[in-house]
Amino acid sequence: MPLELVTIRCLKDNYAYLLHGGAGTVLIDAPEAAPILTELKHRGWKLDAILLTHHHGDHIDAVPELTRQTGARVIGAKSDAHRLPPLDIAVTPGETLDILGKTVQVIDVSGHTVGHIAFHFPESGFAFTADSLMAMGCGRLFEGDPAMMWDSLCRLNALPPETLICSGHDYCAANGAFALSVDPDNDALKKRMTGTAEGRLPCSPATLAEERATNPFLRVHELCRALDMENASEAEIFARLRSMKDNF
């Protein structure tokens, strides 16, 4: 049975995601309890598990209320357990899980934080990347360094192009504005920004193929000349772009 994906807007600009199938329902990240509980009630679904990507409050603060009301198990990174809510299942990158009867790969995507993980459902074509690879951008480097984040983006960029990248925030306006500033002749980017502004195209999820075409942090080869960095390494070009975005 295919899994059904539901995107939930939380807080000011967060995304949480419900996945539902014949074996139950799971949530990826828990920013705010009320909209998640409302969606579960509306659909008549029982929450079985919560998958956490990283420790920031806008991804975990609703866990106590959700577990109190639903009894859902909590799954997160073993290396980050000391700053996550109590975990029922602690996982490590490279590990494979069985969730909702589907194979799930745990991927290290450190950079935004150290210990950040992504969950890839290869059979269903979903990757929950939170604040690593984001719509037309990537997360700010609060704990990791540019080389660490570049390695993480390369791991995600190796996924199949049809993979739906489910990121953690709607930062489309800011991310798209920066992307256009460094890639102004990119027709795919212009079309995506126009469609997003008009509400015709979603900010997230989007396919990895679309991110490759519009996300400057996956387009270092195409942007090296504009940045006068033709002899630089990919990681160096990424670091320059990330610094530019921080000051944009």
pLDDT tens per residue across span 230-239? 999 999 999 9
The residue behind tokens 């991927």 is 107
pLDDT at position 94 over 90: yes
Q: In order of start, what are the domains of the chain with their CATH numbers?
A: 4-246 (3.60.15.10)
Question: pLDDT at position 200, please?
Answer: 58
List, as residue ranges, the binding site for Zn(2+): 54, 56, 58-59, 112, 131, 169
Mean pLDDT, residues 86-98:
97
pLDDT at position 186 over 90: yes
Question: pLDDT at position 198, please?
Answer: 61
The larger pLDDT score, comparing residue 247 to residue 196, is at 247
Question: pLDDT at position 194, please?
Answer: 86
With cut-offs at 50, 70 and 90, classify the pLDDT of residue 196: confident
List, as residue ranges, the binding site: 54, 56, 58-59, 112, 131, 169
Query: Model-level pTM greater than 0.75?
Result: yes
With cut-offs at 50, 70 and 90, classify the pLDDT of residue 195: confident
Question: pLDDT at position 1, please?
Answer: 75
pLDDT over 70, % of the chain: 98
Mean pLDDT of the residues in the chain: 95
Rounded to 5°, the CA angle 79-85-91 comes to 35
Mean pLDDT, residues 135-163:
97
